[in-house]
Each structure stands twice: as structure tokens, then as C-alpha cells.
Amino acid sequence: MSNEAVIGKFVNRYFYTDVDVVGKIVDTFGKTGIIVESYTAERDPDWKPEIIPGGFAGHCVNNRSQRWIFKPIEGGKKIRLRVSNRFKKDGYRIQDEPYKFYDYNF
């Protein structure tokens, strides 16, 4: 994938079962560098977790139907990252869409 092919895609970071959006790729530098505009994710107010008794403190029956609203952080810093083996080991992935998942069952 060329540097220009990633512009407009999103960087998401996976932490075990949770996923956070990092931001949108707005530019590149060098052979493997990307510049990412910081994004935030807010839970869609129309979606609420449905918790029933079970598990540690409860079980979220609609965990996989989460909805999030993604927005750039106003005045947020642009992040410079290098796409390398360390990038992947640290849980970063370049994807077409922003993604957020909070595991209410963990």
C-alpha cells in the first residue's frame, strides 16, 4: 500500500477486547510515516447497554450492537506514527472506517 493510498483511512487501536479510534490519516512522511488527526468517540445517546444478572456483575445482552459518534478533536494535536512491526504489536490497525468497541462483559 502506497503512502497516498492510506490518506483518508482511520487508525484504530485494539486493547484486548476493547477498541478505540485514534484518528484519521491526513498526511504521510518518509517511507512509513503517517500523520493522524485525533478523533474522539461518544456513545450514541440512542443506544444503551442492556445489563442482566450474570457474569462478574452483569451481562450486556446487546454488547455487539453498540453505536458510536465519531468526531475530530477540535484543536487536537496531529499524531505522527511510523507504520512498522511495533505499530502492529502495539495494537494499531489502519482501517477504512473509525471503530470503537467497549466490552461491557469484561
Query: What would the pLDDT profile of 11-50 be if each residue is shown by its tens digit?
Result: 999 999 999 999 999 999 999 999 999 999 999 999 999 9
**pLDDT of amino acid 2:** 63
- State how far the Cα of 81 lies from the Cα of 22, in Å rounded to an integer: 11
pTM: 0.90
Residue 36, domain member (yes or no): yes
Residue 104, domain member (yes or no): no
**pLDDT of amino acid 106:** 76
- Cβ pair 71, 101 in contact under 8 A: no
Structurally, the chain folds into a number of domains equal to 1
Residue 106, domain member (yes or no): no
- State how far the Cα of 11 lies from the Cα of 98, in Å rounded to an integer: 7
Residue 103, domain member (yes or no): no
Provide the b/e sequence for 44-60 (b: ≥16 CB within 10 Å): eeeeeeebeeeeeeeeb
> Which domain, by its residues, includes 75?
3-95
